[in-house]
Amino acid sequence: MEGRSSNIICSLIIAFLFLSFRSSYSHSSSSELQILTAERRIDLASHIIRVVLTLKVQNDGASAASNVLLAFPPAQVKHLALIQAAEHTGKKRKKTVHPLDVKPSDHADGPNGAKFFSVSLRNPLSTGASVSIEVSYILTQSLEPFPVEISQSEPQLVLYRDSALILSPYTIKQQTTVIRTPSTKVESFTRVEPSSQLRTELKYGPYEDQPSYAYTPILLHFENNNPFAVVEELVREIEISHWGNLQVTEHYTLVHNGARHKGGFSRVEYQSRPTISGVSSFKHLVAKLPPRVHSVYYRDNIGNISTSHLRTSYSKSELEIEPRYPLLGGWKATFVIGYGLPLQDVLFESDDGKRYLNFSFGCPIAETVVNKIINKVILPEGSKNPHAVVPFSVERSAETKYTYLDIVGRPVVVLEKENIVPEHNSLFQVYYDFHPMFMLAEPMMLISVFFFLFVAALAYIHMDISIRK
Ligand SMILES: *[C@@H]1O[C@H](CO)[C@@H](O)[C@H](O)[C@H]1NC(C)=O
Ligand SMILES: *[C@@H]1O[C@H](CO)[C@@H](O)[C@H](O)[C@H]1NC(C)=O
């Protein structure tokens, strides 16, 4: 009797193992998907490259598919700042967009080191069904100045490398790629027939029936005089004072990351012929700040710079900053921007009685790449259990800051991230517990200090300290 039941259990286990092995096998085999149509639009108008990929994916396999893989050459993955995907349902007029989850895939690398990202579909794609997804991604530092050095009177030319065919682990029935350049000044581009140039657009394709992992390198050489504004490091100190103010101090190390400037610099020529002299340089930058900023300042290591202009309106404030000298290729400027905000605009109370800061994460300067950002949120003394909610992955750590009158110090939440683009300027929250009694700590300390001084003074007056025999 016992022998029989254990036999049954054994065969059940074997059947279960077999089934789970089969299902994991069918999950990992992805070649049963096919891309019916693919359209890629690459925007090279700025130094931040934005790509939109529209795919119509069909499941030709025998089982339902829950993920779609995206492949990238290893050189692009290094410069990938952001990747997002969405599913599109409905026809043109009544289109609805459902955001989808995209994660780096733990799939082994593909041919030539191709790296994968996995898009999770909303509903498993059944056999024979198809789905339209739109993937958008952003590449930084992928335009290579060529020539590497230019003089003040030369325009800036850059190289861009990619593939005429879309890299994919699936076969693609029909595809086209459209590349937008900043102007019609294109020195050269690799031709892969059919390919054409129409004003500021280069069109590659349509190409039919391409096998998986098809790749045809292309090289574009074109003029791009946009300011290649890169902040090597941005440290933002965001200090909450429960006395009603949020103080923000931002420390910048800004560099012009385009073609290096060579030869002398003539300010006279720069000012008298601005359309041809130093065309790729930048004289001023615009920082978008929250609407009700006050006490705005902008200084470098010499002192306050008064040539900044602040325009405030109901919905936003714009600070136009002008470094002491125009930035040419390879030149650097370090400066600090500071401002205050009314606390009620950014600090709220959650349903469970916690307080939380709701503030922007990224760099407020337009079209700027930040190599490394460090956001430090300095909480009031006595705050407990700080916890940050950020819409993307960041490196988290904690510090304690002491200012005058602090006894136990202020908890500091440190959030670091590399390769930041303007699209990262979303809101993040820092939740914490705070007992209102701590509001009284500083006044109490002041009162006790004065009281002590008062007692000391009294004692001094009443004390006889003359030396007598
Ligand atoms: C710079 O400007 C700020 C704000 O206007 C002011 O508080 C500070 O004293 C100024 N510093 C110098 C060195 O002028
Ligand atoms: C943060 O503020 C934005 C608007 O400024 C608001 O839409 C959002 O809901 C706030 N987030 C939280 C968690 O309160």
Distance separating the N- and C-terminal Cα atoms of the chain: 112
Residue with tokens 């019916």: 36
Q: Which of 163, 194, 223 is the last residue of a domain?
A: 223
Q: Is residue 250 part of a domain?
A: yes
What is the Cα–Cα distance from 133 to 173, expressed in whole angstroms?
Answer: 16
- Ligand 2 pocket residue status of 195, Cβ below 6 Å: no
Whether residue 59 is contained in a domain is answered as yes
Nearest to 405 by CA among 426, 388, 380: 380
Going by DSSP bridges, is the β-strand pair 229-241/245-256 parallel, antiparallel, or unpaired? antiparallel
Q: Are residues 390 and 420 in the same domain?
A: yes
Inform me whether the pLDDT recorded for 118 exceeds 50: yes
Q: Which ligand is nearest to the CA of 347?
A: 2
Q: Compute and round to an integer the Cα radius of gyration of the chain.
A: 30
The DSSP line for 162-224 is EESSPP-SSEEEEEEEEEE-SSS-EEEE---SSEEEETTEEEEEEEEEEPTT---EEEEEEE-
Q: Looking at the structure, do residues 74 and 102 belong to the same domain, yes or no?
A: yes
Does residue 320 fall inside a structural domain?
Answer: yes
pLDDT-derived band at 240, boundaries 50, 70, 90:
very high
133-154: pLDDT as tens digits: 999 999 999 999 999 998 888 8
Which of 170, 191, 223 lies at the terminal end of a domain, its last residue?
A: 223
Bridge partner residues of 85 (DSSP) = 100, 135
**Could you give the C-alpha distances from 65 to 32, 108, 360, 429, in angstroms and in order?**
9, 19, 37, 36
Full residue range of the structural domain in which residue 120 is found: 30-223
Examine the domain organization and report whether 47 and 150 are in the same domain. Answer: yes
SS3 state at 461: helix
Residues 6+ apart with CB under 8 A from 131: 56, 57, 68, 87, 121, 125
Cα separation, 383 vs 256, in Å, equals 40
Flag the least confident range among 98-107, 263-272, 376-385.
Answer: 263-272
Do residue 182 and residue 55 come from a single domain? yes
Answer whether 358's CB lies under 8 Å from 346's CB.
Answer: yes
Mutate to test the pocket of ligand 2, among 348, 358, 428 (most ligand atoms within 8 A of CB): 358
Q: Is the dihedral of CA 157, 161, 163, 166 positive or negative?
A: negative
Cα-to-centroid distance, 306 and ligand 2 (Å) = 34
How many domains does the chain fold into? Answer: 2
- The angle formed by the CA atoms of residues 115, 116 and 122, to the nearest 5 degrees, is 170
- Mean residue pLDDT across the chain: 86
The verdict on residue 461 lying in a domain is no
**CATH code at position 352:** 2.60.40.1730
pLDDT score for 15: 45
- Tell me, yes or no, whether 284 and 152 share the same domain: no
Specify whether the CB–CB gap between 430 and 386 falls below 8 A.
yes
Higher pLDDT, 81 or 443: 81
CB 64 within 8 A of CB 125: yes
User: Quick one: CA dihedral 80, 81, 87, 93, positive or negative?
Assistant: negative
- 130 & 248 share domain: no
The total of other beta-carbon atoms located within 10 Å of residue 414's CB is: 17
* Whether 261 and 197 share a structural domain: no
Nearest listed ligand to the Cα of residue 337: 1
CB 292 within 8 A of CB 245: no
Ligand nearest to the CA of 359: 2
| The pLDDT of residue 24 is above 50 | no
Which among 223, 245, 275 is the end of a domain?
Answer: 223
Residue 348 Cα: closest atom of ligand 2: 14
Model confidence over 74-111: pLDDT tens digits?
999 999 999 999 998 877 778 888 999 999 998 888 88
- Are 60 and 95 in a shared domain? yes
Please state, in angstroms and rounded to a whole number, the distance separating the CA atoms of residues 50 and 369.
13
Protein residue with least CA distance to atom 10, ligand 1: 304
Which residues sit opposite 55 in a β-bridge?
38, 133
389 touches ligand 2 (CB under 6 Å):
no
**Residue 381 CB: number of other CB atoms within 10 A?**
22
Longest dimension (CA), the chain: 113
| Ligand sitting nearest the alpha carbon of 351 | 2
CB 143 within 8 A of CB 219: no
Domain-embedded: residue 447: no
> Do 199 and 238 share a structural domain?
no
Residue 426 Cβ inside 6 Å of ligand 2? The answer reads: no
Query: Residue 153's closest CA among 229, 266, 46?
Result: 266
Question: Closest Cα partner for 378 from 245, 234, 231, 233?
Answer: 245
Residue 464 lies in a domain: no
Residue 1 lies in a domain: no
Domain shared by 245 and 325, yes or no: yes
Q: Ligand 2, closest atom to CA 350?
A: 14
Tell whether 279 and 215 lie within a shared domain. Answer: no
- Give the Cα separation of 100 and 134 in Å (integer): 10
Q: Is 346 left (phi over 0), alpha (psi -120 to 50) or beta?
A: alpha
CA distance 3 to 376: 66
Residue located via tokens 């590399």: 418
Which ligand 2 atom is the nearest neighbour of the CA of 358? 1
* Residues 240 and 109 both lie in one domain: no
| Range list of β-strands (E), 307-460 | 309-312, 317-321, 332-342, 347-349, 355-360, 369-378, 384-389, 395-401, 410-420, 427-433
CA distances from 172 to 55, 153, 168 (A): 9, 46, 8
Rank 7-11, 67-71, 268-272 by mean pLDDT and report only the highest: 67-71
**Can you tell me the distance from the alpha carbon of 123 to that of 175, in angstroms, rounded to the nearest whole number?**
25
Spatial CA neighbour of 416 closest among 233, 271, 264, 169: 233
The confidence score (pLDDT) of residue 96 equals 87
Q: How large is the average pLDDT for residues 218-224?
A: 95
How many CB atoms lie under 10 A from the CB of residue 287? 22
State how far Cα 188 lies from the chain centre. 31
pTM over 0.85: no
Interval 328-354: pLDDT, tens: 888 999 999 999 999 999 999 999 889
Residue 453 maps to a domain? no
